[in-house]
A and B are shown apart, each in its own frame.
Chain A
Amino acid sequence: MAGPLKIAVIGHTNTGKTSLMRTLTRNASFGDVSSSPATTRHVETASLMADGEAIVALYDTPGLEDSSGLLLHLEHIRNERRRDWTDAIHHFADEKAAQGSFSQEATAISQLLRADAALYVVDARDPLRAKHRDELEILSRSAKPVLPVLNFVADPENCAEHWRGELARVNMHAAAAFDTVVYDASSEIALFEKVKLLAEPHRAKLDRLIKSLKARRESLGAASADIIARLLLDVSALSRTAPIDASPERTKAEEAIKDEVRACEQQCVRQLLAQFRFREGDYLPPELALGHDGWNDDLFDGDVLARLGISVSKAAATGAAAGATVDLFFGFMSLGAATATGALIGATVDAYRKYGRRLRERLQGRALLHLDHTMIAALGIRQIQLVACLLSRGHGAVGPLSPVIPNDPGTSSDEPNTLFQSVFKAVKAHIPEGPMRERDDKRQPLARALKMVIAQDF
């Protein structure tokens, strides 16, 4: 079927039609949203794309405000012109310039008649009232397939079941529950699955759209994990030298790292918001609690020593092998001196690369400050929880983002504890203790581990 499926988004005023458009198009700037009636005065359109092709053209229409009056008006037209309902509605739409106080309704109905189908948006927090029944009656007489969309179903006081029951009474047995503020990917898929029932010729295209939505969702998770992995590796590389004991200089060094951590986090947040197509001002991360226990400057940390031992033995083996080659070349006349020298050089170079700076600083009475795994994991949790929030935030939402972000790891509830364990494990597995020079090869494995955490927990 050529051309996109044309869907009119219609409904009573202030039920979230424009918010629905925003959420479906992932565009938080689409149209105007306010709590006042008649915010949308024109028909505005947007196309949902898959692989660069427009699949669905959505038309945002002005809200129906006086459906009871409109029904009476249509009745009047019908009686006056002795026409059937459908003709009366067409006549009403065609003569929209002459509709006076119903011009807004005429604009919406006119667009409905030009569309292939309609989404009838209802605010599920409000009970079904007589005016809604009047709207449904008008829509049912327009001879267009209509799918009711129950908005704001995430509100605990929603009347979705009441609506479903009432809709069934007017023969509308299929209704989609889709909250434009609290986004749910499966609800969006379910919405388009139901649209497929209304638009059989566009079935294949809608399947492509659904596939594209799933792929995009998957891609968002992976991209977010990549961004977080970069942040964690960046902050793990931050270090400052400072006196071992508390002093103004040490405090200054700590503050300097904190500032850098904040800057890194801000950048990460900006990227995450952009990735999800939200505005920068939608979220400001609260202060990260970096206390005195967030630093690792212990020269003889057991974990470091254990890792160092493994690393040094590998380097020694490599050096020994290289030296043995030289020994062989000389027929072992050197009595294995090259092998021993190679092992020594390998071990020394490796140990110095990983440990030398700290040892040097310690000999000078100073410590090398850097973030420990716990703090890095805590930082990771903040971002993961932000991602969780973004994953469940519709672009129709207008309030600021407020994810529940623990400042201290594993303190508030069981969930952060479990989450902390997962993130900590990933951090420990992929980020070596101490500042690293080269981090690029760690990023992908860490991103994969974080992606799994995001997928499992959210």
Chain B
Amino acid sequence: MAVSQPNDSGPSGFRVRLMCEALRRFEEARAQLLDDPPVAGNKPLSLVYPEHPFVPSRSTETEALLIGRYARLPEALSALRTVQLFDRGLLIAILVIAGLSAMAGVGAVRAVLPAGAGATINMYWLLGSLLGLNAIALLFWVFTAVLSSARGPRISLGNFAVEAVRFFGRKRLKQPLSQAAAATVIAENSRRPMIKPLIAVASHAGWSAFLVAALFALIISFSTRSYQFAWETTLLNESVFVDVTTALGKAPAMLGIDTPDREMIRGAKLNPQISRADSPQDAALWARFLLALIFIYGLVPRLVLFGISLAVFLSRRRRYRLQTDRATYARVLDKICPPATVALVTDADEPEDVSDANAPFPARQRLPFDSELSILAYEMVTPPEPWPPRVEGIEWRDLGAVDGQADFERVAKALKARLPDSGVLVVVAPLPLVPDRGVRARLRDLRECAQGIVLLLTQGQKARNRLGSEDFAIRLSDWQKLAADPMIAAERVIEWDLNYQTDHAARQFLEDLRTEGSESETSAPSPLSDQPESTTRPKGTNRNEREHFQERAVAESLAAFQSGVLGWSPSLSEAEVRTTIAEVGRPFLSGDEPSFSGAFSKLSSLISRQDRSLDVTAVKDAVTGLHTLMPPSFQTGGKWAAAGGIAGLAACMGAGVVFPPAIAAMPLWGAVGAGGGLLAQLALPGSPSSEPKMKTEANDDSGSVETPYSDLVAAIGMEIALLSFQGLGEAEISRRLDRLFDPLFEIETREDFPRWFQIYRTNLWQSLMASDDGDARPADVQGENPDQQRQGEI
């Protein structure tokens, strides 16, 4: 590949760093790091500069890594060339300034020198024109340099230059990489540490060129033409000029240049009445004196300052470093120097599959169930209280807590001693415990010592909290699979959180045992035997169907909520609210849960009642009573106290209107109450909120609404939430409601609703995804005494 060799030996450290910065900008703009493999058509830098190390010697380790990486990129050469072009442009700009200044210097000399042979030059007029302006500009530079050393915006004149270059860059460069490179040169050179010496270099270079050109022009003029030198004054005393000229001559005298004495100075005064002519020697002395003054007081300081500024500028360039804490650099460093590397599998041997994940599920067998059951707590440091659990009709033979080999040997010995009449053993195991091979081995041992085993899984709530609903379901499934190996039928894996021992739950446990036994006696194979995944689910529910139903219902309900509220008229009528409440709840009616449907259909009929004859006293009593049953956040949170009170109305309705068993579904009644309470609020005669009004744009520019609008929306939101959370425990519902409603803000204007709804919807789905416990809903609400159930819930 033919590679064009550039004239220079290689880019400077500053330009290499600018190249890196340009590539960083380019990567940042495309939001993606450049790939290392070279792209066809791009020449790597190392081919163009084969001997160049690229990484400057004084780079830090991090910077060296970055420069090394960027120098390897195929885009580096293109970026470097643009950087060099623009950086050289700076030098050219300074040269142009110097050239223009030189022309100005010649022009100034031509302006101050009089025309005609033997013309008289006013020495101070010449000095003032050439040195005075320079001196004032120098003072101005010192002034701005001091001023701009304080914190503040960039130097304005520098700004102008930067804007000009930026404009040029935008117009000329079409490629994004070139634009990034140009922007980099401009941005980095216009940073405060760089722009000040740069402006100084340009300024001093310009003035130096001006003075050099002026000096040359004067030398040429003095060499080729004859001039008389004089001074004149109207206002000042003669001695002033003599003293000033003598003082100015001290510096040239020190350098060995002839200077005029006081008599000669006095003699050079221009007097219109007396014609005078300098002798050629005197004229030459005056000419040399003037040239020396311009050189010493004009050019030398400028050249010195130019040198200093250049040194500072170059030093700043040398000290320029990449800002390695930039985000893109951090990503690059992470890529080239990762915190870790992964080597994946190091042992190729396939370990024996000992999980028995595919073990066949055993068919149900008849349990030798009688009134006495043995019970042991498996790997539970602290058995639940009370221990053994109180179940009416069961007399426990307590084998205590079992943890470790010694305990097992003791229990096995005790059980074996009673064989063949050892009876049924209930093994209580915590759900947070991982059902591993160790557990399986112990269960297998126990199975040999007992006529039948029931695996009672406890601490479900703790496991749910720890694992989340999805992993909790997996954990349940793992326990079922594990139980299959020691021939424990899936129906005998029962979940009951013994930390929440209620009479109802105890009866349910007993019923599960008895029902299972009677079914076994019929020896009729249950269809559920082929579906072990769902066997611990509450009867009458299928997890997938229920999930599907719930998702669809929530989605439809949310849609009804949104369209309903958005469709409310400015004068907001009771009928509109009632319709929205009904529409929001309707999607939940089509489930296969009789209590749920029944309760809601009763509510619907209540909602559609037109007589508005609710008993106010009963409502108030119910609100007070049920308020205490609500989750703590409802009781204490000011914004939800009203909603809690509204939900309490459900008790009043449930007691007299709705059929009693439905009240067992406490969370459902929270939802019913949320909707029904709203209606009551609207319906009660004399209630301040009986006619909720919304200030609209028509009657109030602020568009703010009264509290009822906010409450109505929030309560309907609660209605959906509570309907959606059906099946969870009260504590869980409380926790999820907190999570759902706490991030929400108070609706102040009608326009807030879309934003409020969006957050609400997101939170609701998130909390549903986090819950999704299909199995946790008590499947036994039918036939239960509501009072007892309420007691149990408390």
State the A residues within 8 Å of B (CB): 12-14, 24-27, 30, 34-38, 41-49, 51-52, 54, 59, 62-63, 65-69, 71-72, 96-97, 100-101, 103-104, 107, 110-111, 125-127, 129-131, 133-134, 155, 157, 212-213, 216, 219-220, 222-224, 226-227, 230, 267, 270-271, 274-275, 277, 286-287, 289, 291-292, 311, 314-315, 318, 321-322, 324-325, 328-329, 346, 399-400, 402, 404-405, 407-408, 411, 438, 440-441, 444
Contacts and interface: CB of A to CB of B under 8 A. Distances in A.
Given A14-B434, A67-B438, A287-B762, A103 B340 contact: no
Complex A-B, nearest 9 residue pairs according to Cβ-Cβ distance, in ascending order: A130-B404, A222-B325, A25-B340, A223-B330, A66-B438, A318-B156, A65-B436, A35-B471, A65-B437
Contacts of A37: 355, 434-437, 478
Contacts of A63: 436
B610 interface: no
Interface in B39-85: 61
B436 A13 contact: yes
Contacts of B344: 44-45
B153 A101 contact: no
20 contacts: A26-B340, A35-B434, A36-B474, A44-B342, A49-B337, A72-B405, A96-B349, A107-B347, A107-B349, A125-B432, A130-B403, A131-B438, A134-B405, A226-B325, A230-B28, A286-B759, A321-B140, A322-B157, A325-B137, A325-B140
Interface hub of B154, B326, B327, B346 (most chain A Cβ within 10 A): B327
Interface string B164-188: 0010000000000000000100010
A49 B338 contact: yes
Contacts of A72: 405
Interface string B437-454: 110010000000000000
B133 A43 contact: no
A405 to B, nearest CB: 8
Contact of B405 (A26, A46, A130, A404): A130
Contacts of A286: 743, 759, 762
A100 B352 contact: yes
A66 B485 CA distance: 15
Contact of A46 (B340, B436, B441): B340
B7 to A, nearest CB: 32
Contacts of A405: 743
Nearest to A407: B745
Contact of B330 (A59, A131, A222): A222
B302 interface: no
Interface residues of B, number: 77
Interface hub of A12, A41, A49, A325 (most chain B Cβ within 10 A): A41
A41 B345 CA distance: 10
A275 B331 contact: yes
Nearest to B151: A445
A43 B333 CA distance: 29
Given A104-B437, A126-B432, A291-B752, 13 more contacts: A35-B467, A37-B355, A43-B345, A44-B344, A49-B341, A65-B354, A66-B437, A101-B437, A103-B352, A130-B407, A292-B751, A402-B766, A408-B745
A328 B133 contact: yes
B325 A223 contact: yes
B386 to A, nearest CB: 21
A324 B433 CA distance: 87
A25 B766 CA distance: 29
B339 interface: yes
Interface in B85-109: none
Contacts of B325: 219, 222-223, 226
Contacts, number: 218
A125 B61 contact: no
A103 B351 contact: yes
A36 B441 contact: no
Given A49-B339, A51-B61, A275-B327, A329 B133 contact: yes
A141 to B, nearest CB: 17
A280 to B, nearest CB: 12
B475 interface: yes
B334 to A, nearest CB: 7
Interface string B671-683: 0000000000000
B436 A44 contact: no
Contact of B434 (A13, A54, A133): A13
A24 B752 CA distance: 44
Contacts of A227: 327
A104 B351 CA distance: 6
Interface hub of B329, B347, B349 (most chain A Cβ within 10 A): B347
A16 to B, nearest CB: 11
Given A125-B432, A219-B325, A291-B752, A66 B441 contact: yes
B191 A441 contact: yes
Contacts of A271: 31, 327
B463 to A, nearest CB: 9
Given A44-B344, A45-B344, A411-B745, A36 B478 contact: yes
A333 B790 CA distance: 102
A34 B133 contact: no
A43 B346 CA distance: 6
B136 interface: yes
B381 interface: yes
A49 B335 CA distance: 12
Given A42-B345, A103-B354, A287-B755, A274 B331 contact: yes
B157 to A, nearest CB: 7
A314 B156 contact: yes
B436 A38 contact: yes
A42 B438 contact: no
A47 B343 contact: yes
B379 interface: yes
B758 interface: yes
Contact of A441 (B136, B187, B474, B478): B187
Contacts of B355: 37-38
A274 B762 CA distance: 24
A287 B758 contact: yes
B474 A34 contact: yes
A400 B404 CA distance: 37
Contacts of B157: 318, 322
A222 B183 CA distance: 23
A110 B347 CA distance: 10
B755 A46 contact: no
Nearest to A47: B341
